Structure 1
């Protein structure tokens, strides 16, 4: 009897809908071009809306600098897009979806102003 119940439960588990399965994503475009000396062009696009575009070029100190963008779908059907630059000055990204810090309170701004004035006059604290 236990075997029959176990077999029924196993059959039920196999026949249940599979909610966690991922749908396959088709790659629409994947282009890569090496231009030499650290320069390159990269383009990627998938049928679910994910895409990336990146360009690399030689930097002033021998490194490869990059600039590009990527986008991906959000649950509400809209898309988030991020544009970025990575070069001698570091990595900088721009997007309305990147969180920003809260503004400093007025008393903190005043304290910073006072400290800058004191530093300009040569006043130091040890």
Structure 2
């Protein structure tokens, strides 16, 4: 959990670099944090240069793993180099980090040969060995 918060802060500082190449740490204009050692957490902050971050989560239900997974939901937004607002929403849980955004590339379509092969496998299951 703390690693993600540190990563978020590093991203915020990196995005705060001015166009002249000089680094400037943007001032925080809004910040809120709520943490509980055994339960839910929430944090949000906004900086003067348009970075807006919000996340919340809980320690996941016991799923046979020790410790149980942390379920994390959030979003962040910033202005790109052209001044357009970019929004990334995400979920992070036992299935990994799952971002959603218009800026993320979409995977290429599955080739027709692969689709036909998978259909063939589904319609022609292997017979059990005797």
TM-score, length-scaled by structure 2: 0.69
How many residues are matched?
A: 104
Q: Whole-Å Cα distance in 2 between the matches of residues 47 and 98 of structure 1?
A: 25
- In the alignment, does 2:76 pair up with 1:70? yes
TM-superposed CA distance for 1:107, in Å, is: 2.1
TM-aligned CA distance change 1:24 to 1:35, over 3 Å: closer
Alignment correspondent of 1:39: 40
**Residue 123 (structure 1) shift:** 4.7
Distance 1:42 1:72 in 2: 17
Larger Rg: 1
Question: TM-score under structure 1 normalisation?
Answer: 0.71
More strand by share: 1
Deviations 1:18-71 (A, max 9, x none): x43234421112221113414211001101111110001121123321101011
1:1-126 correspondence to structure 2 within 5 Å: 19-61=20-62, 62-118=68-124, 121-123=125-127
Identify unmatched segments of 5+ residues in structure 1. Answer: 1-18
* Matched residue, 2:9: none
* Poorly superposed stretches of 4+, deviation over 4 Å: none
C-alpha displacement at 1:111, in angstroms? 1.4
CA contact (8 A) 2:70 2:94 kept: no
Q: Find the counterpart in structure 1 of residue 14 from structure 2.
A: none
User: What RMSD over aligned residues (CA atoms) do the two structures have, in Å?
Assistant: 2.0
